[in-house]
Each structure stands twice: as C-alpha cells, then as structure tokens.
Amino acid sequence: MNDILQRSDFGFFLPITTRWMDNDIYGHVNNVTYYSYFDTIANSYLIDAGNLDIHDGDAIAFVVNSQCNYHRAITYPEKIEGALRVNRLGNSSVEYGIGIFRSGETEACATGTFTHVFVKRDTRRPTPIPDQIRTALSKLV
C-alpha cells in the first residue's frame, strides 16, 4: 500500500525554489529547512486567501505543533512546490496537511502536518479563527 500523499490530495500549491544555503554537507536539503517551507506555504495562503494582517491584525497564528516525514531527498538547485490542505479545522486552531513536491511530479518528496492556534495579538490568548480566514481554510478541508 502506498501511503505517500499525491498531488491530488491537496488544494493549494505554491512554487518554491530551493536556495544554495538549503543544502547541507550531505548534499541534500537539510531537514530543518522543510519546516521553513511549511511555514511559508501556510502563511502565504493565510495572507493571500484569508487576508491575514500579519502587521496590525487583532488575531495572529502561533505554531504549536509540526512534524515531517521524508520520502525522497530534494537538493539545490531544484524547483519544488509546496502543497496545502486542511486536515482539521477547529474553533481557534487548524491542522494543515503539507506536501513538498518536485515540479511536475505526482508523489510527494516530504509530507507533514503543521498546527496553528489563533490568538489575540495583545493578550496571546486563544481566539476564534477570523471569519475571512475560516472561509479560506474551509475551501481546503
């Protein structure tokens, strides 16, 4: 059974170009860099589709959990795509499913989850996901 996620499992894609500094001494993108890609994918969607105001909005999102499974190495220079879906949409939190794909390939090189909890900027206490963001996220469930 093939449990590696496919391109068809996701609803949003973001082109990413690996960078010189992404490779490690072993000649592939270092594991910690994938988490940077995850952050970029999720926040790009929140900003563009959900109108998240990262500078002045009342609600901001904190990462509270993340994990990654590595299936095949990627390297610099390589064009890749980050993929996003919503695994679980709660009142103040969202768990994303994320995939990293080589451009044009259908099987993910890496897959993982990434959880945001929305909090009030001033108190840092949980708050319901803002309506515009919830609407955008609902499209990826």
Average confidence score pLDDT of the chain: 96
- Domain total in the chain: 1
88-100, pLDDT tens digit by residue? 999 999 999 999 9
Find the CATH number of the domain harbouring 37: 3.10.129.10
**pLDDT computed for residue 3 by the predictor:** 73
CB burial class (10 A; 0-12, 13-18, 19+) of residue 6?
A: middle
What is the extent of the structural domain holding 75?
8-138
In a domain, 3, yes or no: no
Quick: pLDDT tens for 19-56: 999 999 999 999 999 999 999 999 999 999 999 999 99
> Is 1 a member of any domain?
no
The pTM (predicted TM-score) of the whole model is: 0.93
Tokens matching residue 109: 């090189």
Q: Tell me whether residue 18 is in a domain.
A: yes
The answer to the question of residue 86 being in a domain is: yes
Return the pLDDT at 1. 38
Helix axes 131-138, 31-50, angle to 10 degrees: 110
